[in-house]
Amino acid sequence: MSTVQIFNQGVNNLLDRQADVTKTQEQLASGKRIMNASEDPAGTARTLDITSQLARIDSYQRNTAAVQSSLSWEESALGSVVNDLQRARELTIQANSATMSASDKNSVAVELASIFDSLVAAANTQDASGAYI
């Protein structure tokens, strides 16, 4: 091996190391280990898979928050309906009594009409986006 060949081999090794340093600096600057898909096809595929999984998880979290909000609205409306129906049951039992006067029965009728209006309002309840629950 001649001196020129040894010199050229040394220069080539230095250039290779310089390229390695440049690549490492680019990786550090970007925060990415894989700069091009061709550098590590398996790593690139894994990265894409993880990115896809993270996007799905993010979507699930947004959907969960939306469902929780919707359920809160629905729970409130159903609680109101249950209370109204319990009161209507109490009033109808009272009104069925033979001892109630006509004016008492009229009062019960007025309250039942109010309960009916409340039930209609609960049935027409909308969530924050305007959708009926």
Residue-wise pLDDT tens digits, 63-90: 999 888 889 889 999 999 999 999 999 9
Q: What is the DSSP annotation of 81-130?
A: HHHHHHHHHHHHHHHT-TT--HHHHHHHHHHHHHHHHHHHHHHT-B-TTS
In this prediction the pTM is 0.56
| Positive/negative CA dihedral, 25, 31, 37, 40 | positive
Rounded to an integer, the average pLDDT of 4-21 is: 86
Rounded to an integer, the average pLDDT of 122-126 is: 91
At 64 the pLDDT is 93
**Would the pLDDT of 1 be above 80?**
no
At 60 the pLDDT is 95
Quote the tokens at residue 94: 């009272």
At 66 the pLDDT is 87
Q: Give the chain's mean pLDDT.
A: 88
The most confident of the ranges 9-13, 32-36, 53-57 is 53-57
CA–CA distance, 84 with 94 (Å, rounded to integer):
15
Residue of higher predicted confidence among 36 and 83? 83
